[in-house]
Structure 1
Amino acid sequence: MLKLRLTRIGRKRQPVYRLVVMQNTTRRDGRPIQLLGYYNPITKQYNFNSDKIKYWLKQGVQPTETVKSLLRMANIKN
């Protein structure tokens, strides 16, 4: 099953997360199918590719709870 989820990048105590599409059985920082954007929780900055996100949501990809709240914050609806 494909999921929209976050992978962690960045240094110790300075996390930055990428929004990616990947299998739900893949490890957190494993190889993604497609990169869709990033989110910095410290500065609250984000950059999401809304066209690609809407495409994947129409294909039946399920977002995680955290990603759902980020998409609501960015006003991205399927």
Structure 2
Amino acid sequence: MVRIRLTRLGKRNMPFYRIVVVDSRKKRDGAYIESLGYYNPLRAPADIKVNVERAVEWILKGAQPSDTVRDILSRAGVLKKVHEIKYGKREATNETSS
């Protein structure tokens, strides 16, 4: 299964994470398929940078985000975009037929 999860970077007591697409059988900091962005929890508002288009593509292909990454992607607006792509057209057709 393909997962979207965090891989840890940074010095001791100064974590910095990269958001990556990886095979679920790989190690936490092992080889990954693609990097989608980063997450820095040490900033006052957490610093998040995500390539939204690529993240949406991977989720639509079936990649499952970890719980933490799901929260991060939700803050970045990725999950809202996925929902609009999956269910937006269906709602629009129902409104016009009424």
Aligned with 1:68: secondary structure? helix
Letter in 2 for 1:32: Y
Aligned to 1:30: 30
Aligned to 1:42: 42
Tell me which structure has the larger Cα radius of gyration: 2
Q: CA RMSD in A?
A: 0.6
Where does the alignment leave 5 or more consecutive residues of structure 2 unmatched? 83-98
Q: Give the deviation of 1:45 after TM superposition.
A: 0.4
**% identical equivalent positions:** 38
1 or 2 for the larger relative contact order (CA 8 Å, sep ≥6)?
1
Where does the alignment leave 5 or more consecutive residues of structure 1 unmatched? none
Aligned to 2:19: 19
Question: What are the superposed Cα offsets for residues 44-69 of structure 1, whole Å, 9 maximum, x if unpaired?
Answer: 10110000000000100000000111
Aligned length: 78
Following the alignment from structure 1 to structure 2, what is the Cα–Cα distance between the partners of residues 22 and 74? 20
Which of 64, 67, 83 is the equivalent residue of 1:65? 67
Question: What are the superposed Cα offsets for residues 7-64 of structure 1, whole Å, 9 maximum, x if unpaired?
Answer: 0000110000000000111000001100000000111101100000000001000000
Aligned with 2:72: secondary structure? helix
Q: Give the deviation of 1:76 after TM superposition.
A: 1.2
Letter in 2 for 1:15: P
Q: Give the deviation of 1:75 after TM superposition.
A: 1.4
Aligned with 2:20: secondary structure? strand
Which 4+ stretches in 1 moved above 6 angstroms? none
Aligned to 2:7: 7
Higher helix content, 1 or 2? 2
